[in-house]
Structure 1
């Protein structure tokens, strides 16, 4: 009976924690939306560093030398390894950009398919596009490939990184640059959406991304964001040089980079979420591929949490209290709750059936469904048709998320089984691109 009570209270505790967070996310998102409207009404363009701003990220100096920076130029860097199915689509989306002053660097990490050939042909067909192919003689991993392109070839004052299956909206680059009006903004996380797939797996990934990225609105308002994904993330080149670009000793080089910059002090080097910096990417096509992906993400995330564990409860004035006393501890706690939530939920279902009291399960179902619906209805980037269709899918979200919890639990257990690599990290992590659908086309423009 004591064990039953412990499991019951675990479930209740996890549920209360999630409800509190849902409430915070809703409130934070509303404040963010108001801030966005005010910011857009007073937008002045990109503000360059000045002598009167010595405490902000815009004045970051140091790091290794490289090509001279061109003011206002954006270096768009695409890491690619065997991406012949999607690389042209990504380049097509960039050609539609409303921001004219950018260069594109494709870091071809020893592809054995036609990726390099397709990029070369694209450059010949579109000589007006400032496109360059940077070939790696051997597979050095995604972080290593990005570093080679950035250190040796990138000339931009700003850098946007893309995956080879990404599609960026025409105004994504210009919208990303607008956040650098604030000289303390070091990096901008994009609003990454899953390309529509009419399957349960596709719907699951789309809901998960919508809810996950909405939480970034709260983290931006509290100035405690430290996780910036690799799709359409944008940084100041001066900041990248200061931290010597990407580390290659974790499986998630993108999170590693944003955490490394945050480690400098997030009061001066701020990470922010750009809801209007919209990019779309393919979801994985099978549950087996999803399990591999989530293991890689979780393993890399834990590696970085361990690597930058000094941020947890750090009293230094370089950091905001919301980062060190809230965001970082919650990131660690979420890994623990992930281990217990499927067990607690399963027991709650059993307990509800045994006592003929379905209140707990029904309450959890209603909460998740309501929050999913609110996320759909308040998403500023959905069309009316998309909003209506996703609203019809919302009642399935609770069950789909339970499937995702099981996948995440499996990933966590695999991380525990391979715990040695969490602490003793390899110097280089090579990669293998997942299977791509490549079924969505992008208008190539004039």
Structure 2
């Protein structure tokens, strides 16, 4: 088999894989939507009495000596030089419909006005239970979150937020409703990119919409193990059981969710809450995007290697969908992201050289159609937003091609630093990207 034919079949294989996955994501998302409608329509689905704000009046002590207030939600915000956005984040929490909330800002040795802005906010809003936990030196995001949670958190549940993110008014209340199921250990939020009119902003928004829609399938199949750090909620007792965040990977949030899954996802389930809506800033430059995706990919691979024992594991602690589908596909997707830009580039050349554009047109039509379906089926978009995004949909194929090139560069950088993927050094510093700091409004529904 010559090289040209090999590349052709490689491209065809990658394309077929994507089409099959798009079909699974689409069908799974539809079943999830039906389940969500039935769930909300059931009269018995509401916050259990023990979780209601009026019950958060007395603290009980666990065997480890930590105070825990029933019904209280601890919202912990990791911050390092976030003066442009921290007040906006606090404002979104203040507007929450769920009132039994304490807020901890883990200030990891910020050198700007972050600490002063938080203290000013405390004075202006005494009705908010807000405290700042300041690190004397930059210890890293995971370590800063651990310090705040271990020493100061009193909540029965914990929601994590990045300092550049905001939550919808009903996000906390909606997240709590999933914990009516005693097997639910954590809830992943529906994270959206704040509106941007640039090509980079549109790219990130489409990517988040499609990526988070796939979580609906993973939630139904009980095979989710990747939960981000924006508006995710966990049971405090589960966080204590796994000893909070590890600090030996670049993605401490994925590390935490993988560590919880490693306990056994039949008993400790992670689910996706489509109605737990949060928004976050996208990166502002392609250089920042390259840095972000390298960090995400490097950290993801570190955690896949760290928890590789869950792959093809026959233990009854794990669902078969996790060990025989989700974990292998997570590993395979890293490979396809590595080769797909090369295969697509050669396929374009081959199609033009042989005057047979059907292959490229078919791929373009598939990506565009799936993007349109994702937009039109998104329950959190207004008709105006859907119309605007549908106008951008024909550009999605080209934008995703750019993203695949970014992923390819990230993969090459990961290979160049392969030693750190296995021998994981402690991560003890971090640097926040440039923030836009624009005013964002997120509606109740």
TM-score, scaled relative to structure 1: 0.95
The separation in 2 between residues aligned to 1:99 and 1:186, in whole angstroms, is: 20
1:314-356 deviation digits (Å, cap 9, x = unpaired):
0000000000000000000001111110111111111111111
Match of 1:100 in 2: 99
Give 1:444 shift.
13
The separation in 2 between residues aligned to 1:97 and 1:364, in whole angstroms, is: 43
Give 1:48 shift.
6.0
Give 1:66 shift.
5.1
- After TM superposition, the structure 1 = structure 2 runs for residues 400-415 of structure 1, keeping only pairs within 5 Å, are 400-415=399-414
The separation in 2 between residues aligned to 1:394 and 1:217, in whole angstroms, is: 21
Match of 1:79 in 2: 78
- After TM superposition, the structure 1 = structure 2 runs for residues 207-218 of structure 1, keeping only pairs within 5 Å, are 207-218=206-217
Match of 2:32 in 1: 32
Q: How many residues align?
A: 433
The separation in 2 between residues aligned to 1:87 and 1:274, in whole angstroms, is: 25
The separation in 2 between residues aligned to 1:230 and 1:316, in whole angstroms, is: 28
The separation in 2 between residues aligned to 1:324 and 1:441, in whole angstroms, is: 40
1:176-199 deviation digits (Å, cap 9, x = unpaired):
000001000000000000000110
The two structures, once aligned, show a CA RMSD in angstroms of 1.7
Match of 2:121 in 1: 122
- Contact preservation (8 Å) 1:47, 1:182: no
- Label 1:444 to 1:18 Cα distance change in 2 as closer, same or farther (>3 A): closer
1:317 aligns with 2:316: yes
The separation in 2 between residues aligned to 1:363 and 1:380, in whole angstroms, is: 28
The separation in 2 between residues aligned to 1:6 and 1:444, in whole angstroms, is: 51
Match of 1:46 in 2: 48
Match of 1:15 in 2: 15
- Contact preservation (8 Å) 2:77, 2:162: yes
Match of 2:162 in 1: 163
Give 1:44 shift.
2.8
- Label 1:64 to 1:398 Cα distance change in 2 as closer, same or farther (>3 A): farther
- After TM superposition, the structure 1 = structure 2 runs for residues 26-425 of structure 1, keeping only pairs within 5 Å, are 26-42=26-42, 43-46=45-48, 65=64, 67-425=66-424
- Equivalent residue of 2:37, what SS? helix
- Label 1:239 to 1:443 Cα distance change in 2 as closer, same or farther (>3 A): closer
Q: Work out which structure has the larger RCO, using CA pairs closer than 8 Å and 6 or more positions apart in sequence.
A: 1
- Contact preservation (8 Å) 2:281, 2:436: yes
- Contact preservation (8 Å) 1:92, 1:442: no
The separation in 2 between residues aligned to 1:7 and 1:27, in whole angstroms, is: 30
The separation in 2 between residues aligned to 1:352 and 1:140, in whole angstroms, is: 52
The separation in 2 between residues aligned to 1:2 and 1:285, in whole angstroms, is: 43
- Equivalent residue of 1:69, what SS? strand
Give 1:214 shift.
0.1
Match of 1:54 in 2: none
- Label 1:47 to 1:418 Cα distance change in 2 as closer, same or farther (>3 A): farther
Give 1:45 shift.
1.5
The separation in 2 between residues aligned to 1:429 and 1:383, in whole angstroms, is: 42
